[in-house]
Structure 1
Amino acid sequence: MVVFRFVISFILAVDLSLSAYCRAGEIRTHTLRSTNQARETSVRVLLPDQLEESVSYPVVYVLPVEAGTTTRWGDPVQQVLRNDLHNKHGAVCVFPSFADLPWYADHSTNPQLKQEAYLLEDVLPFVESSYPVITMRKGRLLVGFSKSGWGAWSLLLRHPDTFERAAAFDAPLMMDRSGRYGSGPIFGNEENFRAYHVADLLRQRQRTFQSEAPRLMFSGTGNFAGEHQRMKELLDDISFPHVQIPGPTREHSWGSGWLPEAFEWLLPVSSQPVSSQPVSGKPASDEHPASGH
């Protein structure tokens, strides 16, 4: 049976002007019901204050480190707002939530624990059908720290034609086995973990990336300074293009000052808003059934 991924139950007489998306600084929260997740999830969207007609904007997917929308390690939404990053860089910022601790992997057997599929099959299509964004690789950017920094890198390495750049702060990039930091129940087994193992993916993808400008960045001197040093040695050894920004020692949180630096690297001129394609989405309603495959 064919199931439409997004069904809008009703649409009001739609105001097609861009002001219909949201007011300046307003966070638009959408509820998703996906077969890839065990419970309802949310996608929060923050647009630049000034939107232009017939302009499509790059998207920064700000990847969470916790299940749901809890803020033990700080609040990424507030950090983007506080630093005005959506306006400074002319970017749409998307904050997806996950039903379980996010490691950005599909479980080996559980069909309702497919985090990678949820992001690719549910979140991206929803954003790109609902908002005025660039729907090509160059407009899709990833940022995270700790486990979501791992996730940003593994997503780009596994899907190099989908995402343009990935930035990670203070992340366990050299983690070599499942089970650490709550990852065991997400991967399911060691064989499945190896399919997401960042060091293995770097070796496998070296030829794909070797002739390109760097698309991976990592920064920070903090909890995972040792892993960052070993990652730097690996990248140099296999001649994998990358950018490292060591920086000062910083707290392991969203609010320790690293996020503006990551946005600066993620959004060079080539990723800025473009007018070569029409506005791709219309103002979206707030509840959306989603079907994963």
Structure 2
Amino acid sequence: MTKPLISVEALAKRYPKRGGGETTVFEDIWLPIHPGEFVCLIGHSGCGKTTILNVLAGLDRPTDGAVIVDGREISGPSLDRAVIFQGHSLLPWMTALENVAFAVSSRHPEWSREKVREHCRFYLNLVHLSGAEDKKPSELSGGMKQRVGIARALAIEPKMLLMDEPFSALDALTRGSLQDEVRRICTETRQTVFMITHDIDEAMLLADRIVLMTNGPQAKIAEVVENTLPPDRRPATMHKHPNYYPLRNHLLDFLVTRSKTFAQDIAGKPYDPRKVPVVRPVPAEALAAV
């Protein structure tokens, strides 16, 4: 295994309570993320998923612990880490190309205007928006706006792409199409991605590893699930693979039951937050044949 590009080490976030004391949202989070890996974090609301992403982005500071990126502890936002939010976050007075160019010019202030525009057109074409370069956000559909946001994030060629449920506000057809596009692009470019989601099927489609968080407060990583579906999986056909239901049922069982009972389940048992269980769900008959 290659050296991790990102290393989350002993991360914790606490807030003061009214009247004294403090609430621990999560604690002792350890997570390595390797170059080219797509990692999804799943957990119920309140376990601190978005806070972890914001810490990775440099938009929030942890109470304890650190995030190491490429051998250096992060201390704030950086163009090495691009974020795609739930909303498109486009500047409404700029065209699609200008929105992407705004980011690219920040990354490469030494580039000529024409080189910036050529670079932007490449990434807009990558998300299938050729011909829409000169349209403003008000002239684009919701899915097209989100494509511009994806193009803008990819165009600065970050070391890490952070995604905060970027498809949650879209209709099912648009969401499925964009998920497929993101998977294709990230596979082709070997982009390192950290994404939070509530959608099990989305995680199964996109992620190489799925990190399961217990319920908050005092949330922890319960286990890491390796995606046992084939690398060439597609939304329309992945349910036909024999590993689909074992993987989906394992994730669903965690969200419905084990995320709530984790503390009781490990009572009196050793729990090392630096070495949480790694699970590879497969059909029972496959296990029996081993």
Scaled by the length of structure 2, the TM-score of the pair is: 0.29
Q: Greater helix share, 1 or 2?
A: 2
Larger gyration radius, structure 1 or structure 2: 2
